[in-house]
Amino acid sequence: MNTQSTIIDTGRSKAAHVQLAPVSAVALTDNFWAPRLEINRRDTLRSQYVKLEESGCFDNFRRAAGTKDVPFRGYPFQDTDVYKWIEGASWALAGKDDPELSAMIDAAIELIIPAQQPNGYLNTRFMFEKTDERWTTINTGANNMHEMYTAGHLFQAAVAHYRATGSESLLDVATKLATHIADTFGTEEDKLHGVDGHPEVEMGLVELARITGNRRFLEAAQYQLDTRLGMGRMNSAVYPYLPIREYDRVVGHAVCAVYLMAGAADAYAENGDESLRNMLDRIWDNMTQKQMYVTGGIGPRWDNEAFGADYELPGRAYAETCASIGSIMWNARMLAIDPDPKYADLIEQTLYNAFLSGFSLDGKQYFYQNVLSDDGTQRREAWFGCACCPPNVARLLAQLPGYFYAVSGSEVFVNLYAANQAEVSLPDGQTISLTQKTNYPWDGRIQIVAETTGSFTVNLRIPAWTRGAQLSINGDVQTAPSSGAYAKIKRDWKAGDVIELNLPMPVRQVIANPAVGELAGRTALLRGPLVYCFEQADNTDIDIRKIKLKPGAAFEAAFEADLLKGVTTLRGTAVIAEDACWDVRLYRDIDEVEEPVLKEVTVKAVPYYAWANREAGAMTIWVGRG
């Protein structure tokens, strides 16, 4: 395995202050994430490989290579399903050797190589009778065929494959296509002018520049950013003719927006353009303070999968799984630029809620939308006609170990918590080993053991959601660290030194800003990093739509090993309103209606991510308050 299996390589970037640890440097040993990564490698990726064959994705490459006479199938960007799958499978190999999975990757790459054209162009949609249409839909808004978006996913797959395996087979394909794009697009009169309607290529081009040292790829990414007017497809009505550096709020298609921000963060890391950084800060603040669900989900509108107005957060939600993944990717890049724990906090919030809800416990069913309330009709599916989410889930899960730690100089940053063994190389030349022991996210007690001797700094993220965190080293109590900050511990470490961190996890009731009109008078339950929901399966005799929680209502947290593969549930007392008999009329005068009788009931909540893994039934996060 390549020890340099970093998701994004900012080690030599001008304006980045930390480098994420390689995927291969962190071995998760916990009972929460480690089994999911194993399911992803053993079951999810293999089942998706079958779906790629069944959906025609592989045949599209055979057709383009001239080895099979079949019609093109799927969306114009169908190739991206294959590329994201290769990326996910490659990161899985970085974490664990798997000869069978490696052979599957090689087989997929062998289909891709002969489909590439002599000039470097590669997109199976634009072959034969469609050859003359290549690059003709750039700047056509909703009709854009996403050629560069597709290329960007190839670039990311190639980088992952090279870093995980050392093979240049797919990297060669990617560099040829990137060179073709750099030759074709630019400001010169003899080149094409325009950008793809769906951002993504920016990230891929920057990472290719990092891995190959070819500055033309960075310049091509910069051209995409400098030329873009608007955040993405179906967006021109909101941001007509506005350059990226003038953005002040997040708009339009949610996946487009966060992919674009991730690409802009990559570009800033390389060029240090403060106008880009200022824009990134404005957009991050707007998204997190005015346009984000309590789960970390983004994109409320079912129309165009888009962001809406400030505080437009309907209770049902859209919150596409890919949008949560894009948010995590963007925040990882912001964390590399500036090790501010708010970025790691948001990664955690999104991981445990908006992302984790996007796939089933067996790793074979997926949500495209992640609603926050439902009548029982929303169920996960094995695949989609537009199957962007399933392979996206697989690649993020496989990357996950690479988000846990970051390094800078003689410092290591602990961004996420789960039992693991890590061996990371510091830029100052030291190699340090840490063992993390914890039952997180069910328990906030964390123990980190230094397995090596040396002088270095350990920075522990203290989540903003906790209060009264406690810290000790070898039993000696340290100054209480602040919430929403890194606790910095600089010392000469000896092998066997033990850090003990306790993050209290009380059950919390949260309410929304009054400007979120639909959530007025409603509350939600959170514990630690997890958002909870009420599901009909646990509250069979109650109409969960009528639940009301009193402020400060006590809830008991208890781990149930046999429920939903093991979860901590919350059980407490609520009231429901028993309305007087209502006739068939939709509306009535208030003086005709008797005051409802409040009945005290016992209710049970489960982590939101685990909903819809049992029989169909209603679900809600937000319930009445009173």
Looking at residue 329, the DSSP 8-state letter turns out to be H
Contact 479, 486 (CB under 8 A): no
Which of 147, 305, 348, 500 is labelled catalytic?
A: 305
In sequence order, what E strands does 175-245 have?
none
CA distance 522 to 510: 9
Looking at residue 298, the DSSP 8-state letter turns out to be B
DSSP string computed for 156-184: HHHHHHHHHH---HHHHHHHHHHHHHHHH
Query: Which residues have C-beta within 8 Å of that of residue 180, sequence separation ≥ 6?
Result: 119, 120, 121
Which of 256, 322, 388, 389 is labelled catalytic?
A: 388
Contact 232, 256 (CB under 8 A): yes
CA distance 181 to 184: 5
CA-based nearest residue to 266, from 215, 179, 329, 194: 329
CA-based nearest residue to 146, from 65, 238, 83: 83
Angle, CA 410 vertex, CA 406 and CA 411 arms, to 5°: 40
Cα distances (Å, whole numbers) of residue 53 to 62, 79, 383:
11, 12, 12
Q: What does residue 462 show for φ and ψ, rounded to 5 degrees?
A: -105, 105
DSSP string computed for 71-133: ---S-TTTHHHHHHHHHHHHHHHHHS--HHHHHHHHHHHHHHGGGS-TTS---TTS-GGGGGG
CA distance 171 to 161: 8
Q: What does residue 46 show for φ and ψ, rounded to 5 degrees?
A: -70, -40
Which structure tokens are listed for 205?
């081009």
Angle, CA 89 vertex, CA 84 and CA 91 arms, to 5°: 95
Contact 523, 549 (CB under 8 A): yes
Instruction: Indicate the pairing of strand 619-620 with strand 530-535.
Output: antiparallel
| Residues comprising the chain, all counted | 626
- Three-class SS of residue 571? strand
Query: Is 388 one of the annotated active-site residues of the chain?
Result: yes
CA distance 65 to 247: 42
Catalytic site positions: 305, 388
